[in-house]
Amino acid sequence: MAIPSTVLAAGWIPFVIVLVLVLLFSTVYIKYFMSKYDSTVSSTLSSIVALSVTLFTTALVPDWANDSGTRQSMESSVSIAYYTLYGLISFCLFILLPFVYFFYEEKDEETSNKARCCSAFKFTLVFLILAAVLFLIGAFVPKKSIPKTNSTEWEKVKSLFSDLASNDGEDALSFIISVLSLIGMLALMTYTAYGMSAFPMGLIKGHSSAKKERMSVQSQRSEVRDRISRIKDKYSGRNMSSRNRERVQDLEESERLMERREQHLTSKETSCLQKCLLIFRPFEVVFGVVFFLVTLLIFVSLLLTNIDKAIPGHSLGYKYGYALPHRTLPNPVDMVLVFCQEVFPLDYIMFSALVVYLVFCSISGVRNIGIWFFWLRMYKIRPRRTRPQGILMMCMILMFIMLAVNIIIYELTPQYSTFGSQQYLKCTTESSSDDCVMTRMTLLLTRFFYKMWFFGAAYYWATWAFLGFMLIGFIVAVVKKRKSSIDGEVDEDDFDESDEELIQA
């Protein structure tokens, strides 16, 4: 049956618009943080592609599902789009980003591009072997078989799973993505949980006064100069001890850092743009309060969904991935999205705003915390100062986070995520499959959660941990003092020449 043009327009036009916006956002974001003095075309393009592909998967979540007869072709197309995007995510995580990262690491004036490619490929081969192992495990690991249609188990799941059939290739890809999403949940607990409090609280608190900071730095710098003078005067005409020589070197390095801070603060204090931005300070506080309320709304919605699943008899239990056939407790976010379906395309706008907010919170968390390897800080994320390796690592972390965000979105909006944008029918799990079709995202998740319940249960308990880390992040964000007015602009590892160029710019 041919799909009416109105159906195609309603289903694909919003998606195409989102794709264009995702590409623009990814390009601007990567260019904003990429170092102006240490960037390469390969790392920039790879980062943009990786970030865009990850955001595309979320854009497919509310795929329109109204009539199974006219939607069969579209549902098939959306499924293919999901598999393609998830395949591209696997390609980026296991091949593209590692190869570009190690290719840049081998950068040397005496090393040819051919030698760098060979060296980068050797390291990338480890990731390829890991991907192959995960693929084989996903294809051949024992899974729960499809229940018979006349069995008691089928009565439990028939209203939730519209189609349990899949092949080994689909299961293998689902296994890889589930493993990556589980890793993403760890990043979500670390970065997004903190960012959801730090982002709005940062807007509410604002930045410190550049004038007060400059005066404080001048005072500290004067004290350091006095200490250096006292040490040097003590050894006037005599050789300085190695201990005091090292101490003087440390103090002189500290003074140079303070001098650079003072230069940036003076530039910030006299900047006309900064003076004009003071006018918008009240709006910044208002947006901060609004975003904090959004964070609170998300927290309450996730909490109610998890409590709903924890109540005996509400969910199907851990052996079914804590699937929730019927929402019993109210879920504010889900209720708002379902209500907004009546005014097209208001639900798309609200859903996109929700995803964008989670993305910005994740970005805020990564920028505030930085990239660490256990207790060692690897890279700092700073505007126009982030090294290419840091950008690639940041994109890898954001890819993991966005995979986990797809799970959180399903937890946050179970009704809306399950049936997408229903403009004419209010669908539930009891609705006929001829009238309501489950979104491909929900079908992929619930089908795999049934076959391998461990992942569904792990995501459920990880959501509880995410809520706990949100509370901890809120306490830290409240206690933490205001950011410096030149936050991220001055670091002891920066070159003086780059500081001067930025100030002049």
**Could you tell me how many helices (H) and strands (E) the chain has, helices first?**
19, 2
- Predicted pLDDT of residue 428: 57
The answer to whether the peptide bond before residue 330 is cis (omega within 30 degrees of 0) is: no
List Cβ neighbours of 407 (8 Å cut-off, separation of 6 or more).
Answer: 181, 184, 185, 445, 459
pLDDT at 205 over 80: yes
The two three-digit tokens of residue 103, written as one number = 């290719």
Looking at residue 320, its amino acid is Y
pLDDT at 496 over 50: no
The two three-digit tokens of residue 133, written as one number = 């192992």
Report yes or no: 210 and 486 within 8 Å, Cβ to Cβ: yes
As a whole number, mean pLDDT of residues 223-232 equals 85
* 3-state SS assignment for residue 494: coil
- Predicted pLDDT of residue 503: 44
Does an H or E element contain 205, and which? helix 193-205
- Between 10 and 209, residue with greater pLDDT: 209
- Between 434 and 306, residue with greater pLDDT: 306
CA distance 54 to 394: 13
Which of the four pLDDT bands, split at 50, 70 and 90, describes residue 290? very high
Residue 186 half-sphere exposure toward CB, CA atoms < 13 A: 6
CA distance 417 to 62: 6
pLDDT at 500 over 50: no
CA distance 421 to 338: 8
pLDDT at 211 over 70: yes
Does an H or E element contain 143, and which? none
- Predicted pLDDT of residue 502: 46
Which of the four pLDDT bands, split at 50, 70 and 90, describes residue 11? low
Which of the four pLDDT bands, split at 50, 70 and 90, describes residue 291? very high
* φ/ψ bin of 237: left (φ > 0), alpha (ψ from -120 to 50), beta (otherwise): left
- Predicted pLDDT of residue 504: 46
The answer to whether the peptide bond before residue 345 is cis (omega within 30 degrees of 0) is: yes
Quick one: DSSP state of residue 34?
A: B
- Predicted pLDDT of residue 149: 59
- Predicted pLDDT of residue 468: 93
Three-state secondary structure along 249-286? HHHHHHHHHHHHHHHHHHHHHHCHHHHHHHHHHHHHHH
CA distance 257 to 270: 20
Which of the four pLDDT bands, split at 50, 70 and 90, describes residue 237? low
CB atoms closer than 10 angstroms to residue 27: 16
Report yes or no: 426 and 117 within 8 Å, Cβ to Cβ: no
- Predicted pLDDT of residue 254: 86
CA distance 193 to 189: 5
- Between 146 and 246, residue with greater pLDDT: 246
- Predicted pLDDT of residue 243: 82
CA distance 128 to 20: 31
Three-state secondary structure along 314-355? CCCCHHHCCCCCCCCCCCHHHHHHHHHCCCCCHHHHHHHHHH
Does an H or E element contain 42, and which? helix 41-59
* φ/ψ bin of 482: left (φ > 0), alpha (ψ from -120 to 50), beta (otherwise): beta
**Closest listed residue to residue 214, CA positions, set 262, 275, 264:** 262
Report yes or no: 474 and 197 within 8 Å, Cβ to Cβ: yes
pLDDT at 241 over 90: no
As a whole number, mean pLDDT of residues 475-481 equals 87
- Predicted pLDDT of residue 179: 87
- Predicted pLDDT of residue 298: 93
pLDDT at 109 over 90: no
pLDDT-above-70 percentage for the chain? 77
Phi, psi of 380, rounded to the nearest 5 degrees? -105, 140
- Predicted pLDDT of residue 22: 84
Q: Encode pLDDT of 113-130 as tens digits.
A: 788 888 888 889 999 999
- Predicted pLDDT of residue 303: 92
